[in-house]
Amino acid sequence: MPFMKYLLIMEIEKRILIALPAYNEEATIADVIQRIPQQPAPGADITVLTVDDGSTDGTVSAARSAGADVISHGRNLGLGETFRTALRYARDGGYHILVTIDSDGQFDPRHIPLLIKPVMDEKADFVTASRFVDPELLPDMPKLKIWGNRRVAKLVGKLSGISIKDATCGFRAYGPAALERLSSFSRFTYTQEVIIDLAGKGLSILEVPVKILGERPVGSSRIASSLWRYAILSLAAMYSISHDHRPWKFYGTPALILMILGTVADLFVFIRWMLTRSIAPYTAVGLGGLFLITFGVLLFLFASLADTASHNRHLIEIIIAEHVRKNRKKK
């Protein structure tokens, strides 16, 4: 590689955006920003960005006073939309790495270099802090939350095809490939959705054990204030991204099973009619078979439509990735 080109790439690799989603975090956000390392990697050029999701307290002024740039939503749009604002900022600004860290003080910003290093060393495209990889770093939190987080991680692991211990932690680092190819749609949250999406695209994912506070130092969780609401909306987000990556697995396989069962049931009834000229007392079996076949055909058609939509989305993602690469070259 020519020496000048090598220097250019090295310069690009050191542009890092550290984004803090915030909603009414006046009490903690300034402290988090002030503890962010100025050199999280050798020669790094960092930008600290607070994405204010319609706060009604002094979050914005506290963030600006601490030295962060601020983008404010006009109203509360949800954590997922806040993440996408940071993602667009990183893409449009030509950044090589995006780091997300919550504003509530549960994560120690001094651990940012631990997340960045695997990306800089090209050992991972996406790095997430983990509360549960190392048993010695298990946070002091209610057992119900630990149990729930582990169940979610297992579900995300099944849907993504990778082993993951902590699927809900928001302390993460996204490398250039992740910034180019990532898709996110849920307004409520993005943490599980991102893992499933990046794993489905074959990007390398790494968990880094980090000591994290089990509970917020101030106030209560905005995202998990209602466990039932959190569970339902998180499942909806995971379902949405999973079926988009594998529509034939989600709809085609059940469609085939239903059509086979329906065919077997109707074949049984037909053979009985051929032998006895009567389908009694198996009328319900025949009708059930027709229902299964009909529903299976509908699922098959749905799988075909979902597959077409998935192809269209991938084409759009290719265009976005090219746009991100061009922006990075300009910077």
For 37-64, write each residue's pLDDT tens digit.
988 888 789 999 999 999 999 999 999 9
* 48 shares its domain with 105: yes
Supply the pTM of this predicted model. Answer: 0.81
Quote the CA–CA distance of 63 and 33 in Å, as a whole number.
7
Cβ atoms within 10 A of the Cβ of 200, count?
Answer: 18
* 262 shares its domain with 222: no
The parent domain of residue 282 ranges over 247-329
Report the CATH number that the domain containing residue 207 is assigned in CATH: 3.90.550.10
The residue that leads in pLDDT, 182 or 306, is 182
pLDDT value of position 184? 87
Domain boundary among 209, 226, 244: 244
Whether the pLDDT of residue 9 is over 60: the answer is no
Q: What is the mean pLDDT of residues 231-258?
A: 81
**Residues 222-234 as b or e (16 or more Cβ within 10 Å = b):** bbeeeeeebeebb
* 202 shares its domain with 293: no
* 261 shares its domain with 288: yes
Domain boundary among 213, 244, 275: 244
Of 27-36, 142-151, 218-227, 304-313, minimum mean pLDDT range: 218-227
* 267 shares its domain with 164: no
Give me the half-sphere count of Cα atoms (radius 13 Å) on the Cβ side of residue 251: 21
Does the bond joining 281 to the residue before it have cis omega, within 30 degrees of 0? yes
Measured in whole angstroms, how far is the alpha carbon of residue 132 from the centre of its chain? 18
pLDDT value of position 226? 63
Q: What is the pLDDT of residues 75-119, one digit of tens each?
A: 999 999 999 999 999 999 999 999 999 999 999 999 999 999 999
pLDDT value of position 10? 43
The CA distances from residue 264 to 96, 268, 284, in Å, are: 56, 6, 14
* 205 shares its domain with 280: no
E strand residue ranges, 172-260: 172-174, 205-209
* 141 shares its domain with 191: yes
Average pLDDT of the chain, as a whole number:
88
Whether the pLDDT of residue 300 is over 60: the answer is yes
Tokens 């997340």: give the residue: 115
Whether the pLDDT of residue 250 is over 90: the answer is no
Whether the pLDDT of residue 247 is over 60: the answer is yes
The residue that leads in pLDDT, 108 or 245, is 108
Q: What is the pLDDT of residues 189-208, one digit of tens each?
A: 899 999 999 999 999 999 99
Q: Structural domain tally of the chain?
A: 2
Domain boundary among 244, 277, 310: 244
* 146 shares its domain with 294: no
At 207 the three-state DSSP class reads strand
pLDDT value of position 11? 45
Q: What is the pLDDT of residues 156-190, one digit of tens each?
A: 998 889 999 999 999 999 999 999 999 888 888 89
pLDDT value of position 222? 62
* 161 shares its domain with 258: no
pLDDT value of position 6? 34
* 160 shares its domain with 298: no
The residue that leads in pLDDT, 214 or 296, is 296
Quick one: DSSP state of residue 37?
A: -
Q: What is the pLDDT of residues 11-44, one digit of tens each?
A: 445 799 999 999 999 999 999 999 999 888 887 8
* 138 shares its domain with 62: yes
pLDDT value of position 2? 39
Q: Is the dihedral of CA 206, 135, 228, 225 positive or negative?
A: negative
* 217 shares its domain with 280: no
Q: What is the mean pLDDT of residues 136-150?
A: 86
Q: What is the pLDDT of residues 208-221, one digit of tens each?
A: 999 988 777 776 66
pLDDT value of position 225? 57
Residue 227's pLDDT band (boundaries 50, 70, 90)? Answer: low
